[in-house]
């Protein structure tokens, strides 16, 4: 019809890259060192550099501790005029890019802390409403690991809030291990795998065996709360029962050894939290025991389970590659435990096994004979069971 035009609406599909986490960054539980347990907000770039050197000199880097994570307290109290996060100019005068470059040159991965709320737990600027801006600046600094806390979150939905930061990290283009420090309030084990690489299952650990404080608890309580969560853990997604207190003053040597053993059975991230510069040889021996670390880092990626719970005694087991098992006998009582094991009663073991004591670092026979030992209070015996061919 004359005088009338034909109008066509061209519908062009908008293609979007699916937001996701970076895959394959944590096929085994992350290992490293974090500043919080010993130093809280008393941190600066001199300390971080000294700790990097100590991790190298002590053999911890060679044992697998790759991430150095600067926890809460590195920021200025205000963002700049453009809304960017700013490191404290007195304590980090060189800036985060230079510090990250230093750590990378030393062979480490660079980790940093912030919070999903409006402020961090120590009152510094949080990430809420700034996720994409913050992710870009982290990428420009060379950040490899982000621990994201849950203070001052108001009425925010945990899953959606952490997904927003996940999407921001992915959009920034730099692969980052994403640690969800949500404290287990919203069952992150049920949804964390699609969002991050590890998720906290509880509140904060403190350096005691079985105490309970207002905001933190001893590691034995945290251990008990991991029962039943094993089905959610595996390569690239780990339950996180919080950082190690190994070597910190509230634990005995036996309790430090037991914590390290059981965190390895749990396939937990191994994030040391002690002052590496001044640790004793005994603590260094614990933290650098490569045979125990190998249990934690086993490529099968299974979290261990509580096999037996009795008064004064727990047995934890972890399935390993090639048909092997790790078995940890834990004396929870206040007196020595006289242990006697008939291996035929340990039903997970099929056939006969060679036995390796991972703390004595020696072979101690086979399962064809009963096993006897004395375990001091709050200590462990940790064995690797290798099938006899």
CA–CA gap between residue 133 and residue 121 (Å, rounded) = 20
**Which two structure tokens, joined as six digits, stand for 350?**
């099929």
DSSP 107-123: TPEEEEEEESSSB-TTS
Helix (H, G, I), strand (E, B) or coil at 289: coil
**Which two structure tokens, joined as six digits, stand for 113?**
């802390």
Three state DSSP letters for 112-152:
EEEECCCECCCCCECCCCCHHHHHHHHHHHCCCEEEEECCC
CA–CA gap between residue 173 and residue 176 (Å, rounded) = 9
CA–CA gap between residue 267 and residue 245 (Å, rounded) = 16
CA 221 to chain centre: 17
Active site residues: 149, 204
For residue 311, what are the contacts with CB-CB under 8 A and spacing of at least 6?
Answer: 333
**Which two structure tokens, joined as six digits, stand for 309?**
């719970």
CA–CA gap between residue 306 and residue 226 (Å, rounded) = 9
Closest among 385, 28, 32 to 243, alpha carbons compared: 32
Backbone angles phi, psi at 255, to 5 degrees: -70, -35
CA–CA gap between residue 134 and residue 170 (Å, rounded) = 12
DSSP 304-318: PEEEEEETTEEEEEE
- CB burial string 176-200: b at 16+ within 10 A, e below: bbbbbbbbbebebbebbbebbbbbb
């Amino acid at each position: 019809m004359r005088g009338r035009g034909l109008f066509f609406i061209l519908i062009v599909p908008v293609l979007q890259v699916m937001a996701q986490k970076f895959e394959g960054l944590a096929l085994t539980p992350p290992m490293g060192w974090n500043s919080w347990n010993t130093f809280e907000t008393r941190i600066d770039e001199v300390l971080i550099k000294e700790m990097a050197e100590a991790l190298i000199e002590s053999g911890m880097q060679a044992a697998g501790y790759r991430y150095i994570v600067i926890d809460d307290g590195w920021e200025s109290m205000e963002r700049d005029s453009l809304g960017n996060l700013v490191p404290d100019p007195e304590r980090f005068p060189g800036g985060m890019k230079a510090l990250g470059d230093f750590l990378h040159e030393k062979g480490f991965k660079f980790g940093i802390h912030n919070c999903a709320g409006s402020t961090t737990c120590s009152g510094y600027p949080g990430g809420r409403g700034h996720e994409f801006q913050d992710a870009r600046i982290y990428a420009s600094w060379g950040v490899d690991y982000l621990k994201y806390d849950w203070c001052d979150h108001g009425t925010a939905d945990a899953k959606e809030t952490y997904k927003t930061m996940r999407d921001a990290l992915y959009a920034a283009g730099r692969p980052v291990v994403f640690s969800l420090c949500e404290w287990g309030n919203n069952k992150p084990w049920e949804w964390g795998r699609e969002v991050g690489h590890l998720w906290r299952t509880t509140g904060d650990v403190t350096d005691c065996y079985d105490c309970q404080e207002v905001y933190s608890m001893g590691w034995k309580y945290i251990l008990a709360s991991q029962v039943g969560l094993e089905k959610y853990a595996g390569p690239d997604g780990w339950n996180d029962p919080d950082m190690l207190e190994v070597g910190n003053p509230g634990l005995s040597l036996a309790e430090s050894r037991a914590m390290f053993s059981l965190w390895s059975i749990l396939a937990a991230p191994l994030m040391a939290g002690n002052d590496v510069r001044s640790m004793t040889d005994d603590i260094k021996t614990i933290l650098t025991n490569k045979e125990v670390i190998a249990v934690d880092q086993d490529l099968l990626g299974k979290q261990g389970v509580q096999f037996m719970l009795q008064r004064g005694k727990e047995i934890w087991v972890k399935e390993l590659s090639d048909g092997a098992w790790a078995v940890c006998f834990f004396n929870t009582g206040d007196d020595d435990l006289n242990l006697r094991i008939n291996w035929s009663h340990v039903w997970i073991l099929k056939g006969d096994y060679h036995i390796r004591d991972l703390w004595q670092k020696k072979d101690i026979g086979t399962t064809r004979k009963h096993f006897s030992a004395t375990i001091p209070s709050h200590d462990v015996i940790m064995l690797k069971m290798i099938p006899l061919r």
